[in-house]
Structure 1
């Protein structure tokens, strides 16, 4: 899984952290949680604020 697979990342984060409100997650934690996902296989340096915003929004959408 790569940074660009925002929806899949969001699904996996929702499964891995069901007790977390994605609107309250800071980007440092979000990035670390994405990197820790078992299927994630991308360079952490390729992540930026825009990607993290997209992941966070997709996670919020997933919770609705």
Structure 2
């Protein structure tokens, strides 16, 4: 899984961290949690604030 797979990342985060409110996640934690996902395999340097915002929003939408 790559940084651009925002929807899939959001689904996996929702499954892996059901106790977390994605509206309250800081980007440092979010980035670390994404990189810790078992299927994730991408360069951390390819991640930026815009990608993390997209992941966060997709995660929020996933729980709606």
Shorter-chain TM-score bucket reads: over 0.9
Query: RMSD of aligned C-alpha atoms?
Result: 0.2
In structure 2, runs of 5+ residues without a counterpart are none
Q: Distance in 2 between matches of 1:21 and 1:29?
A: 12
TM-score (norm 2): 0.99
In structure 1, runs of 5+ residues without a counterpart are none
Deviations 1:4-63 (A, max 9, x none): 000000000000000100000000000000000000000001000000000000000000
- Which residue number corresponds to residue 20 of structure 1? 20
Runs of 4+ aligned structure 1 residues displaced above 4 Å come to: none
TM-score (norm 1): 0.99
Q: Distance in 2 between matches of 1:17 and 1:3?
A: 18
1:4-15 pair list within 5 angstroms: 4-15=4-15
- Which residue number corresponds to residue 34 of structure 1? 34
